């Protein structure tokens, strides 16, 4: 029996596991790093212990320390969540040797699937279909390249010990192979301590479809249908859904049976996911098996009505599976959208900062939010930047999709850049609504998915200008939001009266790195009417309104709208169903000298570590050529040359930590 459960993880998955444990009357123990001392999962647990400094290798990856605390606290079982130690066979064995239940598969199953190359061999022997590729031990570049040349480009380089898109590169032609291989090896070594690579034929129009499997220690195994996870960026999933659209019952059964075959080939126990590539002709190929609970497991829970964490805990106690294959039913449709702190317009670069406003949609049996953060928490550089998982259910795909879009419109976050607007564009995009899904969906529709950003921003400029004007009238910070302390001062007056002329101004807002301009004429009645003329391009708007707490009432050309907003240190967030914009107001220029040294392209995008210099000081480079690689938030980021020129010097050596905004190198343009 499990009476006390330690959750060896953080964030939303730790909270998710604890929620079910509490429903079952199981005591919970949280572990945390110094950075997570005030985290939500710590507050949820009955007990909590500190593991050490923020870096995961000094805290959440300290299996020995976690076992020590578990023994001290009399823990019966450890749930590893996903990531960190969840697929670490050594940790599973450590639990077993200390008579602690590991809520997951046997170490032997983790080992079998932990190496992609070994997993391919096992699956081949079991009769599970495989994508053509090289999975051998000879890791010489010449051997890997020969395999790629023979199977034909494009090919996919994959880290044998990888996951989550780490150590993975597409290679479209022979000339790209060496650079892509070196980058994949570096990223794999940094993420997994292993740079063993696989080479596989890259299918150009595949779907990523995975099967949720469950096995017990009594020889029983079932599949809980499938999920389509094709919409991805950087090989990481964005929106998942269940069941997979346009999936015939015949393919569903064949794929489910193949997944059970794969699980039984390694004597699997517990929750697992077998991932397949599904081609246009209905053929499918084994990719990998994840020996843990998946991030996207909630969509399976929504269409089956089953609690998969409860199943995990029951199987870990030695019980038989709660249901047989015949007893499992598929009902309706579900979507999961991953809410990330990242900037889609800047190659999905992770964003760090404090969540000054965190307002999720109202939850119900139809709308679910799995999160590990609350308002005021920090998204740090140390961990994955996922804020939450938004999950919805509907009687059909169309109904579920409408519900997803409405819930995304009600999700309001300020303090960091998020992907919410991008998720809305994807979910409302015609090809997505028509379920024309492939793993290259984002790349294929890149221009269309990003074309709306500027137009949407322009359309919201009157409301943004109104908010900026009203906020300035009441003070510079919501923390001193006392109208009466400022309204008598002429410096806070936004009316039309001036000593010598009608007051006119230009309001300039910065959204991302792009400026937008609105001309404001204060000619419509001054303080009492609070109405202004706002000119955006060739369009003129009459605007008025008021603010109260974090609500903006805006009347624009006679149409009234209501928004939620947040302000912190002159950074604004403006939200409603149709608007999710973070912006700042640019102060008017007073003719100060521009001290820009021309190196702004070489500022570190965020805190991170220098990985490699790809050229030598004094070396000529071409526009677009990678010249430096840095690692941040578990991902590599390349700094490229903005033009032909020469790298004069590097300011940081490989292995050194750098702060966001730090100048990384000195560069001279060829035409300077």
Instruction: Tell me the pLDDT tens digit for each residue of 55-107.
Output: 999 999 999 999 999 999 999 999 999 999 999 999 999 999 999 999 999 99
Range in 394-408, 508-522, 591-605 the model is least confident about: 591-605
Number of domains in the chain: 5
311 in the same domain as 213: yes
Q: Is residue 553 predicted with pLDDT exceeding 60?
A: yes
626 in the same domain as 611: yes
pLDDT at 51: 97
387 in the same domain as 264: yes
Residue 117 lies in a domain: no
Range in 171-185, 471-485, 506-520 the model is least confident about: 471-485
Mean pLDDT, rounded, for 176-181: 95
Tokens representing residue 13 in the block: 């998955």
| In the block, residue with structure tokens 């609070």 | 530
Range in 71-85, 292-306, 651-665 the model is least confident about: 651-665
Mean pLDDT, rounded, for 266-288: 93
Report the C-alpha gap between 180 and 294 in whole angstroms. 28
pLDDT at 634: 62
CATH assignment at residue 545: 3.30.700.40
Report the C-alpha gap between 76 and 381 in whole angstroms. 33
Task: Name the pLDDT band for 574 (thresholds 50, 70, 90).
Answer: very high
List all residues 6 or more positions away from 24 whose beta carbon is below 8 Å from its beta carbon: 310, 313
514 in the same domain as 557: yes
| Dihedral over Cα of 606, 610, 613, 616: its sign | positive
**What DSSP line would sit under 352-387, residue for residue?**
-EE-SEEEPPPP-SSEEEEES--TT-EE-TTS--EE
Where a domain ends, among 178, 201, 224? 201
pLDDT in tens, 447-457: 999 886 667 78
Average pLDDT, the chain: 88
Residue 136 lies in a domain: yes
pLDDT at 476: 46
pLDDT at 602: 82
392 in the same domain as 259: yes
Q: Is residue 129 predicted with pLDDT exceeding 70?
A: yes
Task: Name the pLDDT band for 205 (thresholds 50, 70, 90).
Answer: confident
Mean pLDDT, rounded, for 555-566: 94
pLDDT at 524: 58
Better pLDDT: 27 or 130: 27
List all residues 6 or more positions away from 94 whose beta carbon is below 8 Å from its beta carbon: 63, 64, 67
Range in 63-67, 163-167, 646-650 the model is least confident about: 163-167
- Please confirm, yes or no, whether 62 is among the known catalytic residues: no
pLDDT at 43: 97
Domain of 255, in residue numbers: 208-453
CATH assignment at residue 146: 3.30.1490.20
Residue 55 CB coordination number (10 Å): 15
605 in the same domain as 576: no
**What DSSP line would sit under 484-545, residue for residue?**
GGTTT-GGG--SS--SSS--EEEEEEEETTEEEEEEEE--S-TTTT-EEEEEETTEEEEEEE
417 in the same domain as 298: yes
Residue 108 lies in a domain: no
Where a domain ends, among 586, 620, 637? 586
Residue 180 CB coordination number (10 Å): 18
499 in the same domain as 391: no
Where a domain ends, among 386, 420, 453? 453
Residue 595 lies in a domain: no
Q: Indicate whether this model's pTM tops 0.85.
A: no
Residue 61 lies in a domain: yes
391 in the same domain as 298: yes
pLDDT in tens, 331-390: 999 999 999 999 888 888 899 999 999 999 999 999 999 999 999 999 988 999 999 999
471 in the same domain as 371: no
Tokens representing residue 342 in the block: 């990242």
Task: Name the pLDDT band for 529 (thresholds 50, 70, 90).
Answer: low
410 in the same domain as 264: yes
345 in the same domain as 225: yes
Which residue of the set 40, 207, 292, 368 is catalytic? 292
CATH assignment at residue 663: 2.40.50.100
Q: Are 581 and 460 in contact (CB under 8 A)?
A: yes
């Amino acid at each position: 029996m499990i009476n006390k459960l330690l959750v060896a993880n953080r964030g939303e998955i730790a909270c998710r596991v604890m929620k079910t444990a509490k429903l079952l009357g199981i005591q919970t123990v949280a572990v945390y790093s110094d950075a997570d001392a005030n985290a939500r999962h710590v507050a949820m647990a009955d007990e909590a212990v500190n593991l050490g400094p923020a870096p995961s290798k000094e805290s959440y990856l300290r299996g020995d320390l976690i076992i020590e605390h578990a023994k001290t606290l009399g823990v019966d079982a450890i749930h590893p969540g996903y990531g960190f130690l969840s697929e670490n066979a050594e940790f599973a064995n450590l639990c077993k040797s200390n008579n602690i239940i590991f809520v997951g598969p046997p170490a032997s199953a983790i080992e079998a699937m932990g190496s992609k190359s070994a997993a391919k061999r096992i699956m081949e022997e079991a009769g599970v279909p495989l994508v053509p590729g090289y999975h051998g031990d000879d890791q010489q570049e010449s051997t890997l390249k020969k395999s790629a040349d023979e199977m034909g480009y494009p090919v996919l380089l994959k880290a044998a010990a990888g996951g989550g898109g780490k150590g993975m590169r597409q290679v479209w032609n022979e000339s790209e192979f060496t650079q892509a291989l070196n980058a994949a090896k570096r990223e794999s070594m940094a993420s997994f301590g292993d740079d063993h690579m696989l080479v596989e034929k890259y299918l150009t129009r595949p779907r990523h479809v995975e099967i949720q499997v469950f096995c017990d220690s009594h020889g029983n195994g079932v599949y809980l249908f499938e999920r389509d996870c094709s919409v991805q960026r950087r090989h990481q999933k964005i929106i998942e859904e269940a069941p997979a659209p346009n999936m015939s019952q015949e393919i569903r059964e064949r794929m489910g049976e193949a997944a059970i075959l794969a699980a039984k080939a390694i004597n699997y126990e517990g929750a697992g996911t077998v991932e397949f590539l599904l081609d246009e002709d209905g053929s499918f190929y084994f990719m990998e098996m994840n020996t843990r609970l998946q991030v996207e497991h909630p969509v399976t829970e929504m269409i089956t009505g089953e609690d998969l964490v409860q199943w995990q805990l029951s199987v870990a106690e030695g019980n038989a599976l709660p249901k047989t294959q015949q007893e499992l039913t598929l009902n309706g449709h579900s979507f999961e959208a991953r809410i990330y702190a990242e900037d889609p317009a800047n190659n999905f670069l992770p964003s760090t900062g404090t969540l000054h406003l965190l307002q999720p949609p109202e939850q119900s049996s139809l709308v679910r939010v799995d999160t590990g953060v609350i308002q005021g928490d920090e998204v740090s550089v140390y961990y994955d930047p996922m804020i939450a998982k938004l999950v919805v259910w509907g009687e059909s795909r169309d109904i579920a999709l409408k519900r997803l879009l409405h819930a995304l419109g009600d999700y309001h976050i300020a303090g960091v850049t998020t992907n919410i607007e991008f998720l809305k564009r994807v979910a409302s995009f015609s090809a997505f609504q028509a379920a024309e899904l492939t793993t290259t969906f984002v790349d294929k529709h890149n221009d269309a998915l990003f074309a709306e950003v500027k137009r949407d921003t322009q359309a919201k400029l009157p409301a943004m200008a109104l908010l900026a004007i009203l906020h300035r009238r009441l003070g510079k910070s919501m923390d001193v939001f006392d109208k009466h302390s400022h309204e008598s001062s002429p410096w806070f007056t936004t009316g039309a009266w001036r000593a010598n002329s009608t007051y006119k101004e230009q309001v300039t807002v910065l959204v991302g790195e792009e400026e937008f301009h609105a001309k404001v004429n204060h000619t419509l009645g001054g303080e009492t009417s609070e109405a202004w003329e706002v000119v955006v391009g060739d369009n003129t708007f009459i605007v008025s309104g008021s603010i109260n707490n974090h609500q903006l009432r805006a009347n624009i050309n006679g149409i009234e709208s209501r928004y939620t907003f947040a302000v912190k240190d002159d950074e604004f967030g403006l939200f409603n169903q149709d608007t999710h914009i973070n912006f700042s107001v640019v102060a008017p220029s007073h003719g100060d000298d521009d001290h820009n040294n021309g190196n702004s392209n070489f500022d570190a995008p965020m805190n991170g570590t220098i990985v490699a210099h790809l050229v030598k000081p004094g070396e000529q480079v071409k526009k677009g050529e990678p010249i430096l690689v840095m690692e941040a938030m578990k991902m590599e980021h390349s700094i490229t040359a903005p033009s032909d020129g020469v790298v004069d010097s590097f300011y940081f050596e490989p292995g050194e930590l750098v702060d966001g905004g730090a100048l990384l190198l000195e560069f001279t343009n060829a035409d300077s």
